[in-house]
Amino acid sequence: MAEIMALLLFISVCLVLLTGYPVAFALSGTALLFAFIGIITGTFDTAFLSALPNRLYGIISNMTLIAVPLFIFMGVMLEKSKVADKLLDTMAMLFGSMRGGLGISVILVGMLLAASTGIVGATVVTMGLLSLPTMIKRGYDPAIATGSICASGTLGQIIPPSIILILLGDVLSSAYQQAQLEMGVFAPKTVSVGDLFAGALFPGLLLVALYIIYLIAITFIKPGAMPAIPKDELNISKTELYIRVLKVLFPPLFLILAVLGSILAGLATPTEAASVGAIGAMLLAFSQRQFTLKILQQVMRNTLRITSMVFLIFIGASLFSLVFRGFGGDEAVRDILTNLPGGVVGAMFTVMLVMFLLGFILDFIEITFVMVPIVAPILFTMGIDPVWLGIMFAINLQTSFLTPPFGFALFYLRGVAPKEIPTSALYRGVIPFIGIQIFTMSILVFWPGLATWLPAVIYGN
């Protein structure tokens, strides 16, 4: 009976979320309703709810999570400082004279924005507003133009420093310690946000390289799909262009490298590096003459709104997790995964498939806080590496957010794309990039060292 209640709880939450009801309240409200029913029917122990205050205190006092509002502030400030506008214009001048140059520029700028903001929606919308009209005006195939923008926008899932990796790192750290304690290891190893940042570096850069290789290949297969900008329209000498590239590219690149480098080198914690990033973003906005009291107020409001959403979902997910465990849901999931044919491979494939499908209806924050704490400890007891698992989760969700017809990135771009671009063009455009991401996950399956080698070298794990 209790396991059936756990299953009904999970299904009910998914159904409520499909109605568009706010996620945090859907999670907590549905969980409380089922807890009440469980108390009446004698299938739920109220002791699980008594653990909620400790959970909430742990969330609020978690030093790692302080990095979240700081990184959000950094990303929003860089967005308001018009860095993306100048980067895209400069990259277009640098690569525009070659076929596919605008597309390559979009991928590279998307990579830099991903490392700066770490917010998929913000990157897709920004790139859509800035680059899509120009690409269409220059004769780009709408499918290739929209596909490039969506793919570059979702790089925020995997390119460090990423908010997603911070949240995932915190959840995986707790799950990894829990799994080791269950296995009788009373001096458990840890996995940190820095481990995930280091592990995501090579897979993220590989994705960028594969995107660019795909676009270059298209210029040979369909030359008319991505025409070059005539050289006489660029109207700038090579010397002036190189100077402009240095002036525009160096400040944000230096800021990203300073933040990420300080974490990887062990000079700063993610929280300390995020504070440096927030100050650096303000200085960068000031140098661009975009730092005013009005802009600062807008940035602080946006930061507060996004941060509040993240932590409210975290609290709702904690309540859901306690009630789900109270009904024995975690044990039911453990039994299912351990008895699947194929052992570890079958369990991993099932988890990845379920997570991929959940990516159609849930954002990465909900999946990280709801799904990962349930399945990660089980997978860790099977011997799966935590860093490798985190990177696989991130790329899997990135793929889910691109996949028609429910991919979040498609919804974001559809909202700002011109009406004359059909939705079918968006769908056709992202399919090759989905294939690239599946190919990258396949490489990680057969070559886990792509994700685990750098953290082992840096941190000795």
Per-domain boundaries in the chain: 45-302+387-459
Phi-psi map region of 268: left, alpha, beta (phi>0 left; psi -120 to 50 alpha): beta
Instruction: Centre a 10 Å sphere on the Cβ of residue 78 and count the other Cβ atoms it contains.
Output: 29
Mean predicted lDDT score pLDDT of the chain:
83
Q: What's the rounded Cα separation, in Å, for the pair 277 and 97?
A: 34
Given this model, what pLDDT does residue 441 score?
93
Condensed to tens digits (0 to 9), the pLDDT of residues 90-128 reads 777 777 677 888 888 888 888 877 766 656 666 777 778
DSSP code per residue over 220-255: HH-GGGSPPPPHHHH---HHHHHHHHHHHHHHHHHH
User: For a pLDDT cut of 70, what percent of the chain falls above it?
Assistant: 95
Q: Is the pLDDT assigned to residue 381 strictly greater than 70?
A: yes
Picking from 122, 123, 97, 119, the residue whose alpha carbon sits closest to that of residue 108 is 123
Residue 322: CB partners within 8 Å, gap ≥ 6? 31, 48, 49, 51, 52, 55
- Considering Cα of 333, then 338, then 342, then 345, what sign does the dihedral take? positive
Q: Label residue 437 exposed, middle or buried (CB < 10 Å: 0-12, 13-18, 19+).
A: buried
pTM of the model: 0.85
Residue 129: CB partners within 8 Å, gap ≥ 6? 416
